[in-house]
């Protein structure tokens, strides 16, 4: 192994194209200098704190009304926000574990194994994982995090000379490009549902000409402009994946990194559907092995879901709790026997460790931005510098910057929506298009910080520093592509 590593070190970036050389240099830098994901949120906390102090925010202050959501000092806002994402934290942990359980079930594991045999070359493997990950994230971002990570591992096993770091970055690419434009995009689903959209946001929407106070999906992610913009970013992402993939001489494989890749199914698999060898079956174990109660629970859940969605728009009614329930029921059904489901959950639980540790700190950052004057001050600067033509790209840039420090698509939209949509009304920019703009800008931020990478990294056995050189290189192409799309395709409102 030492000889292989020495060979890798001697080659450097020789023989690579300019984009691959750029990605390798960025990766070498991040591997040396970038802290782990936990260090990133620790540093980010004090970056926001110092920014608030420099821009005139008080350190200690409490408004007279204890129910107020503005007017706090930075320290008080941090404490108020620390547990503000606690429900979201549990939802995300359940999504990670549920997604893992689904992806490691027999039928889905066999599907992943078949897909992983399609690419034959290292460069093709990287581009293939990127394409599948983005498509999966368009369908559902939560499932794609797990599905694409497991696919990347299996592809690396079948194409052992592919760069494992690049495969890891591509497994995450959907969350940095098209997820929010897809069927589980938080902002679009929020503004399409009166029960999900806060009343202040609905008031601004009404002022913009939507009498119902909501914006249907047909006016946001399903407009032809939004679909074209999404396809454009998708194509740029796949093309970049192809060009930045290093050749065999410069690749760091899973073997170089000391990561053992066991087969997903079959002999040698960590999860092969068999109980521990030599284990004696007791009469009392029948419940663990019988699918009877699995079927009864799935039936119970299916009846509830039918009643829940009855008379509602499917996408408008779909929220994180419902997604989690669907994943749970699907995992139960696919594993069939209770003991298999229990083992899948136990194996998937470590992937949620980073979420449990870091999300409260991100909640504190959210509090310092949302409960003080920082967010409104940034927005004011943005609106003052805007025209109708430049407002969409400026909002995309602002959403991206804010997304680095508040990486939560749904809650961050609540922060931005009132003043972004009010400014759009004033500048005669289509409100539905601003949801698209927010989606593409906010998603791009995920390529710059490791918040959403945690589940993917846990499954791949990598650290943030291993893949962020590649994700930053992807950002340099995908974000300008998004800016170009939201500027040139913007619907013009003249009345």
Which tens digit of pLDDT belongs to each residue from 325-338?
998 999 999 999 99
Question: Quick check: 155 and 167 in contact, CB under 8 A?
Answer: yes
pLDDT of residue 5: 44
The dihedral of CA 445, 450, 454, 455: what is its sign?
A: positive
What number of residues does the chain have?
A: 495
In a domain, 75, yes or no: yes
Query: Whose structure tokens read 């509090």?
Result: 367
Low-confidence stretches of the chain (pLDDT beneath 50): 1-11, 272-273, 278, 494-495
Contacts 24+ apart (CB under 8 A), 33-38: 34/464, 34/465, 34/468, 35/465, 36/463, 36/464, 36/465, 37/354, 37/358, 37/450, 37/451, 37/453, 37/454, 37/457, 37/463, 37/464, 38/354, 38/357, 38/358
Residue 33 lies in a domain: yes
Q: What is the spatial distance between Cα 55 and Cα 51, in angstroms, rounded to a whole number?
A: 6
Residue with tokens 């419940």: 287
Strands (E), 155-249: none
Encoded tokens for 444: 């791009």
Distance of alpha carbon 478 from alpha carbon 234, whole angstroms? 8
- Residue 407 sits at φ, ψ, to 5 deg, of -80, 70
Residue whose tokens read 């299996």: 154
Both tokens assigned to 4? 């292989």
pLDDT of residue 143: 79
24-56 b/e (C-beta count within 10 Å ≥ 16 → b): bebbeebbeebeebeebbeebbeebbebbeeee
Note whether residue 493 is domain-resident.
no
First CA to last CA distance, the chain: 68
- Based on the structure, what is the number of domains in the chain? 1
On whether residue 404 sits in a domain, the answer given is: yes
Residue 282 covered by a domain:
no
Residue 350 lies in a domain: yes
Within-domain flag for 270: no
CA distance 445 to 408: 10
Q: What is the pLDDT of residue 396?
A: 93
Q: Please, which residues have CB within 8 angstroms of residue 360's CB and are 6 or more apart in sequence? A: 82, 83, 85, 86, 89
Which is it for the CA torsion 231, 237, 241, 244, positive or negative? positive
Cβ neighbors of 114 (< 8 A, separation 6 or more) are none
pLDDT digits (tens, 9 = 90+) for 134-147: 999 998 887 788 89
- What distance in Å separates the CA atoms of residue 13 and residue 22, rounded to the nearest whole number? 9
Which residues on neighbouring strands pair with residue 339, listed in sequence order? none
Picking from 470, 480, 476, the residue whose alpha carbon sits closest to that of residue 126 is 470
Phi, psi of 448 (to 5 degrees): -110, -10
Contact between 133 and 238 under an 8 Å Cβ cutoff? The reply is no
Report, in angstroms and rounded to the nearest whole number, the Rg of the chain calculated over CA atoms. Answer: 23
209 phi-psi bin (left φ>0, alpha ψ -120 to 50, beta other) = left
CB 120 within 8 A of CB 137: no
Give every CB contact of residue 444 below 8 A, 6+ residues apart in sequence. 176, 177, 396, 400, 403, 475, 478, 479, 482
User: Residue 348, class by beta-carbon neighbours within 10 Å (0-12 exposed, 13-18 middle, 19+ buried)?
Assistant: buried
- Name the residue range of residue 122's domain: 2-59+71-263+287-488
Nearest to 414 by CA among 89, 197, 176, 185: 197
How far CA 246 is from CA of 89, 129, 154, in Å, comes to 36, 15, 19
């Amino acid at each position: 192994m030492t000889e292989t590593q020495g060979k890798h070190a001697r080659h450097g970036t020789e023989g690579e194209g300019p984009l691959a050389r750029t990605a390798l240099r960025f990766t070498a830098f991040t591997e040396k200098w970038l802290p782990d994901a936990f260090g990133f949120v620790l540093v980010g906390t004090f970056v926001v704190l110092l920014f608030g102090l420099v821009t005139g925010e008080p350190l200690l202050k409490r408004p007279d009304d204890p129910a107020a959501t503005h007017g706090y000092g930075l320290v008080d806002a941090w404490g108020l926000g620390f547990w503000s994402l606690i429900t979201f934290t549990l939802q995300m942990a359940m999504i990670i574990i549920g997604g893992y359980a689904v992806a490691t079930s027999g039928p889905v594991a066999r599907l992943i194994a078949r897909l992983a045999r399609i690419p034959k070359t290292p460069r093709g493997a990287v581009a293939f994982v990127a394409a599948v990950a983005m498509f999966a994230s368009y369908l559902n971002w939560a499932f794609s995090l797990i599905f694409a990570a497991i696919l990347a591992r299996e592809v690396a096993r079948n194409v052992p000379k592919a760069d494992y770091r690049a495969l890891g970055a591509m497994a995450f690419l959907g969350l940095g490009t098209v997820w929010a434009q897809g069927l589980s995009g938080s902002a679009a689903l929020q503004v399409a549902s009166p029960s999900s959209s806060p009343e202040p946001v609905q008031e601004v929407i009404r002022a913009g000409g939507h009498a119902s106070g909501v914006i249907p999906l047909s006016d946001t992610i399903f407009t032809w402009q939004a679909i074209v913009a999404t396809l454009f970013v998708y194509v740029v992402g796949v093309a970049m994946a192809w060009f930045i993939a290093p050749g065999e001489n410069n690749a760091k494989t899973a073997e170089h990194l000391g990561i053992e890749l066991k087969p997903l199914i079959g002999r040698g698999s960590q999860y092969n559907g068999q109980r521990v060898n030599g284990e004696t079956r007791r009469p009392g174990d029948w419940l663990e092995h019988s699918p009877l109660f699995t079927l009864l629970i799935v039936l119970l859940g299916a009846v509830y879901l039918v009643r829940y969605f009855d008379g509602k728009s499917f996408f408008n009614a779909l929220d994180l709790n419902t997604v989690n329930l669907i994943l749970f029921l699907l995992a139960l059904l696919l594993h069939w026997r209770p003991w298999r489901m229990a083992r899948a959950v136990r194996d998937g639980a470590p992937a949620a460790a980073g979420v449990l540790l870091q999300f409260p700190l991100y909640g504190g950052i959210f509090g310092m931005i949302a409960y003080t004057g920082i967010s409104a001050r940034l927005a004011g600067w943005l609106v003052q510098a805007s025209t109708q033509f430049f407002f969409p790209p400026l909002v995309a840039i602002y959403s991206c910057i804010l997304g680095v420090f508040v990486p939560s698509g749904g809650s961050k939209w609540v922060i931005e929506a009132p003043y972004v949509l009010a400014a759009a009304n004033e500048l005669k920019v289509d409100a539905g298009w601003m949801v698209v703009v927010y989606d593409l800008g906010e998603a791009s931020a995920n390529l710059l910080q490791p918040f959403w990478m945690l589940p993917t990294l846990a499954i791949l056995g990598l650290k943030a520093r291993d893949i962020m050189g590649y994700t930053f290189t992807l950002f340099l192409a995908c974000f300008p592509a998004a800016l170009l799309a939201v500027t040139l395709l913007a619907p013009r409102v003249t009345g």
